[in-house]
Structure 1
Amino acid sequence: DDLKAATAFFVELGLELEGEATVEGRWVDRIVGLDGVRSDIAMLRTPDGHGRLELTKFHTPPATTAEPNAPVNTLGIGRIMFAVDDIEDVLARLQAYGAELVGEVVQYEDSYRLCYVRGPEGIIVALAEQLS
């Protein structure tokens, strides 16, 4: 529901805000499979320019309420993973945006340090730091 907070969170993760808009009309209805859609969107681009993340706040129809802090094994819950250079630095920066560590930072073999964080609106983000 807080599009600005979610946008700021992902910008802190290194994504670039491409633009924001309010969208509505039959074309939007046809894309999302709902009638009477009016929503605000923020489009973000990954640093390499190859990926996009769309964040959406629906005004109509009313959004259905979900459990904001559902466990990570909840059916249908979405997660996204980002590669980071310094997991501790990223965690410290994201905490200023309300991020909370879901479990703990764990080293997987000699390959990665991994963790899950819960950001604005309950968004779950995995962080992966590749070890040399």
Structure 2
Amino acid sequence: MTLQRMDNVGIVVEDLDAAVAFFTELGLELEGAAHIDGSFADQAVGLDGIRSDIAMMRTPDGNAKLELARYHTPPAIRSGPEAPPPNTVGLHRVMFAVDDIDDTIARLRPHGAELLGQVAQYKDVYRLCYLRGPSGIIVALAERIG
């Protein structure tokens, strides 16, 4: 058996509408949304009594997807600090290539984006930054300059 592809990355959020707005502003497209519950969901995820809403976001090229999920029951839980630093064990961050990093940051700020450091330049190849988005998600941006 051969791996076909990575289908998506799932991220649990507190405010699904805010997360969809943030990632839409970044340039992802809403592929679909659904309410998830029932024994299928309980069995697949390994929790009892799941009721959640999901939004599937895809990159413009169609090659990558984010599944944003808002759990109603059982309620989502936080582990660790409210805003874990980039060196926290586990899912580290999601990185996107952008055409104009400064414009992207400016468009995301009204959606709550905050730079974790500053825009840095790696040689004559990339401009990079980390920012914190909805529900504390760390999003990295990369602009190819060389």
Q: TM-score, normalised by structure 1?
A: 0.94
Report the Cα offset of residue 115 of structure 1.
0.3
Match among 10, 25, 31 for residue 38 of structure 2: 25
Match among 51, 60, 81 for residue 64 of structure 2: 51
Q: Which amino acid in 2 is paired with 1:70?
A: P
Aligned to 2:123: 109
Aligned residues: 132
Gaps of 5+ in 1: none
Q: Which amino acid in 1 is paired with 2:90?
A: G
Moved more, 85-94 or 71-80: 71-80
Match among 41, 46, 65 for residue 54 of structure 2: 41
Gaps of 5+ in 2: 1-13
SS of 2:18's equivalent in the other structure is helix
Q: Which amino acid in 2 is paired with 1:78?
A: H
* Residues 55-70 of structure 1 aligned to structure 2 (within 5 Å): 55-66=68-79, 67-70=81-84
Report the Cα offset of residue 131 of structure 1.
0.7
Aligned to 1:84: 98
Match among 114, 136, 140 for residue 100 of structure 1: 114
Report the Cα offset of residue 30 of structure 1.
2.4
Q: RMSD in angstroms over aligned alpha carbons?
A: 1.1
SS of 2:54's equivalent in the other structure is strand
Report the Cα offset of residue 78 of structure 1.
3.4
Matched, 1:130 2:144: yes
